[in-house]
Chains A and B, each alone.
Chain A
Amino acid sequence: MKNMNVTCNDRDRIFEDGTPAEWAALGAHAAACPICTEQIRAWESLSVAAKELRDYSDSPSFWPRIERALAEEAARNPQRAERRGWFSFFRNIPLGWQTAAAGAFVLVLTVSAGWFYLQPPRDGQPADQSLLKSKALKEVESAETTYVQAIDKLAAEAKPQLDNPATPLLANYHEKLLVLDSAIADLRAQAGMNPSNAQLRHQLLAMYQEKQHTLEEVLETKQ
């Protein structure tokens, strides 16, 4: 091995992120430097002291207790497990494709909502307006349902992070999503009372898009 020239000035850097070769060189340097000898000894002593905090003694009743809790939980949620199994194929789809699908649903929803909103009334067509309305509504509602399902999948992905936010940023996202969910619930209630109101539908769509973007950002922080 090539001899490395190490001085006292390198000590802290080596303590922080030294390679084995650098540690060896520091050791060699310390042989002739009492300050470094003492510093290394104090540094190493913390690692030795840390072992005092190790207590791996086993308690025989602990695993049976966990096992019982796991079995109870499994028995309590067989339906949830079944549902998870049903939707498991979604999880195998890469995140990029999921986002693309969600984007496509947004497009469909926007185009269909816009088309029905801007469509001028056709002269000379005594069509059954109530029938048209109901058909258009069905299409919008069906697109919305699909979009909501796609967002729910994103939400399920992000749930573990949001349930236990590891950073203040994630906690903020969690708050924001709660506010968005509340706003969505309000708008849906209003849309339920007035299903043909395109303005409400647009607002709802904007809320869904915001939720989608927020969830994507949460998932990006995970990666």
Chain B
Amino acid sequence: MGTMGLALPWKARISSTLRERGTRVEPSEHFAGGPNPAAVDALSEDAVLAAACRSGDLRAYERLYAMHGARMKNLARNVLGNPSDAEDAVQETFLKVQRSIASFRGQSSFVTWTYRILINTCYDARRSRLRKKEVANDDSEETPRHEPRAPGAHPALRMALERALAKLTQHQRDVFLLYEVEGFRHAEIAGILEMTETASKNTLFQAKKNLRQMLEPPRSSAAEAR
């Protein structure tokens, strides 16, 4: 049996790391009993935050930023590829939330709705960047230009993963980023991307299968390594 690990320098580290499972509780994993008190608290907090934002209270937006700003910026950065565009997208998202909070009917959670706006804003920004490129007669394919960020523990791994992610379909990339990087649950991703929970799980599965194929060492080099 050959090594199935990924062709990356961190193989040794992750080979001994078993991912902590069960940190996310999916709705389908609630077996019995009444509503989860933590979930009820989160829902009421979400509703309170939405109401405060609707009333135009800037402190409510500050709270939204304190709770989700860093995660929003990280998601935008992974979609757009650079921190400057990511900050623009997050700022535009806050403005869009402020402009359309009156039309928010509470059919999804306020936070889910905010992330949906963020994702759409990021793709609008990518499309507009693509149009600008076309006008400039630059025919290079639009893929996120990943600018250097704060050095992490495994820069080579990060770069390889960024390159592989750029080759996934938009939905696969979004689901992977939301689930694996940002830690959303499938139920939340379903709300953000307007898909079913089952579709979210299936898309994640396909995304990880494709990533694994892209990141796996070629068979010949794997054999040499042995």
Interface residues of B in 180-217 (CB under 8 A from A): 180-182, 193-194, 198, 201-202, 204-205, 208, 211-212, 215-216
- Interface pair B150/A55, CB less than 8 Å apart: yes
Q: Does A34 lie at the interface of the complex (its beta carbon under 8 Å from any beta carbon of B)?
A: yes
Q: Does A47 lie at the interface of the complex (its beta carbon under 8 Å from any beta carbon of B)?
A: yes
Chain A residue contacts of B117, Cβ below 8 A: 164
Interface residues of A in 22-40 (CB under 8 A from B): 23, 34-35, 38-39
- Interface pair A38/B201, CB less than 8 Å apart: no
Q: Does A128 lie at the interface of the complex (its beta carbon under 8 Å from any beta carbon of B)?
A: no
Alpha-carbon gap, A212 to B149, bound state (A):
49
Contact partner of A42 (CB less than 8 A), chosen from B71, B78, B162, B212, is B212
Size of interface on B: residues with Cβ below 8 Å to A: 72
Interface range for A: 35 or more
Interface residues of A in 85-107 (CB under 8 A from B): 88, 91
Instruction: From known contacts A16-B201, A20-B21, infer whether A160 and B103 are also in contact, taking CB-CB under 8 Å.
Output: yes
Question: In this complex, what residue of A is CB-closest to B78?
Answer: A53
Instruction: From known contacts A48-B19, A49-B161, A50-B161, infer whether A63 and B69 are also in contact, taking CB-CB under 8 Å.
Output: yes
Secondary structure call for the B interface: helix
Chain B residue contacts of A81, Cβ below 8 A: 56
- Interface pair B58/A47, CB less than 8 Å apart: no
- Interface pair A84/B102, CB less than 8 Å apart: yes
Alpha-carbon gap, A59 to B150, bound state (A):
12
Instruction: From known contacts A52-B154, A66-B90, A91-B105, infer whether A164 and B181 are also in contact, taking CB-CB under 8 Å.
Output: no
- Interface pair A55/B152, CB less than 8 Å apart: yes
Q: Does B120 lie at the interface of the complex (its beta carbon under 8 Å from any beta carbon of A)?
A: yes
Interface residues of B in 158-177 (CB under 8 A from A): 158, 161-162, 176-177
- Interface pair A34/B212, CB less than 8 Å apart: no
- Chain A: minimal CB distance from B156 (Å): 10
Alpha-carbon gap, A43 to B211, bound state (A):
10
**Interface positions of A (Cβ within 8 A of B):** 12, 15-17, 19-20, 23, 34-35, 38-39, 41-59, 62-63, 65-67, 69-71, 73-74, 77, 81, 84, 88, 91, 156-157, 159-160, 164, 166-167, 222-223
The contact sample of 29 A-B pairs, CB cut-off 8 A, is A15-B205, A15-B208, A17-B198, A35-B1, A38-B1, A44-B17, A44-B19, A45-B14, A46-B180, A47-B19, A49-B6, A49-B10, A49-B157, A52-B152, A53-B162, A54-B74, A54-B181, A57-B70, A59-B87, A62-B69, A62-B73, A62-B90, A66-B61, A66-B91, A70-B61, A81-B56, A91-B105, A159-B103, A223-B107
